[in-house]
Structure 1
């Protein structure tokens, strides 16, 4: 038995009965076949960012060695191995003037992120990462390797694009790339305390009603710790940052963000024209492993008063450090692709993300705070985001609507009759 892997999420123990370091699809097939024979559950580990909770027992397939990336610049596609990160795909595509629909962190596994939908830096212009997938290579619960396309296996293809990790072990995928080599982007940081923070949110919400679909943005809020690793101008401050990614010209980008600059003094301003390979600097997600719990709430909309109350609950008076991010949705995210897929809640206007470090903080306290936030939002919450729910593996409600859940449940019955992949964030046979 190989030692259990370490990954980005350190908050939950990983103690499987067997670890398989897969070098290719045949190793995955062998591992799934053995698990079926021995009646063991199967989990998959690429980078460990989206760990749903503790891993106890079963077979854990580690795909990090399967990290090949092959770009076809003529077809504008990339063939991506199960262990490849978005950073690897970005670097491979950039020499051809192309980009994937990656998320904000270059260290996240590209395949696993896409299975959950994949909300990216350019999402409002080009849609979810799952929308551009051309094919999957997957080993289903019967141990059969399958090449899944819209033509050959349309129902399984539908479910793998946004349905999560319940339908098999994906060993690779082919996805489309978009012709983006540079963008105008970065962040504007404002004082988040008191009325100043409420004013920034109010201005941001007004602003999102005016911007074109070629501009994707989010607003984040946190109390920065007073430590040397944090820039001096931000230490100990409650900061609200507006993050922007715009594929138009820098001059037009400056014109579009002008209303935000008028909100007040910005202690940090990184807005600039940049090569797409620098897109990770827009959010500057921490690159080091750490322990955390998180949830993502899909919202039909949000008003300034509720937004201000969320800041009040999660800011300086919060019982633990809480990172809040509000992503502006709409645009191409609201348009179902052809053929359709299992990505839910396309009519949502915003995504509210909550994340709390767990060092010295217990999960129960974090959940209590998140429930208070959800109560403030009330009927605006239409569901939860599979990609941004970290650690709550025993809470599976809300990831898909009823009809999608029922359709996914039918696929589970067909392709995983022994419930090998029925771990956290799975879809049960009855659609729950």
Structure 2
């Protein structure tokens, strides 16, 4: 399955790229999908910020993302790194006290706020000190009508963006009126990008969602559920990686990632996944094999004196097929995850005890008997032990199959 996103560049007065507005698409047709604004935003976040490297889409530039009012009130923008995103407040938002307080908190945390398709009114004036960018749709409000507003409110902290710039004359007129940034068909139509996407199991998502809705979250149960879904666990670690400092301790288990997030951020993350993927397809056989490998690695680790590393062995097995799921080399994917060095070396080089264990399990999958016989001697694994672990892993993985 593929995910789709359209990006449209936002340019400076010198026609240099300042950033990109990202627009969710649910198919190769470059048109807005039949989804609510909130669901479209959630899918955009899930399929781009937590499934892939956002810098590949935006060339390292800031991304402009629309947030409907409900998402702003629930603090969903705080799930994103503030240095990579500009939060657009939709024109449908109501300028009430609740919205003001939500934006004040976001601005206080260092997020850049923009008012999208802005129409000046008395109710919005108190919001202006909170925002750093105002977007005017010049097909709705002419440049002549907004010129005075731009000049009256110009300050070093506030920029103005002209949307729907479709001709050279409009570009020159907007520059003369004091606009700083520009967006429209005169420069570029939204460009479609297609990428391989990992699906999550509907049942697992719903089970996790039900758990995080409890008054007290049972982290052990959430961890067990996450361990059955390679997509959710991958996105969770990508999300955690965006939240961590570079000096933070590497993640070695899902439990550690869950505790790091805390209840509020975990609930927000799961709510986005549940909303965004409510209608996605079932996982393929690759997911089944990922679960099988994870369980087999964990089981064998316990049997060959690596009991203390059983959790890491499970992660190694679970993520061993991410390259196939994402159509991306494993070493590229690993760079995005906050994993410990022994896990990274196991996945990329088959080095260390965990790497040898993974290599053994992969050979067993592929029926490479000569390799198995030689490595079995090195790891001191009997045929009976490996066969029992394999049967256990297959039965365990099949217990999560969706019919």
Same fold at TM > 0.5: no
Whichever structure has more helix as a proportion of its residues is: 2
Q: Return the TM-score normalized by structure 2.
A: 0.25
Q: TM-score, normalised by structure 1?
A: 0.23
Find the structure with the greater CA-based Rg. Answer: 2
User: Which structure is higher in RCO with an 8 Å CA cutoff and minimum separation 6?
Assistant: 1
Higher strand content, 1 or 2: 1
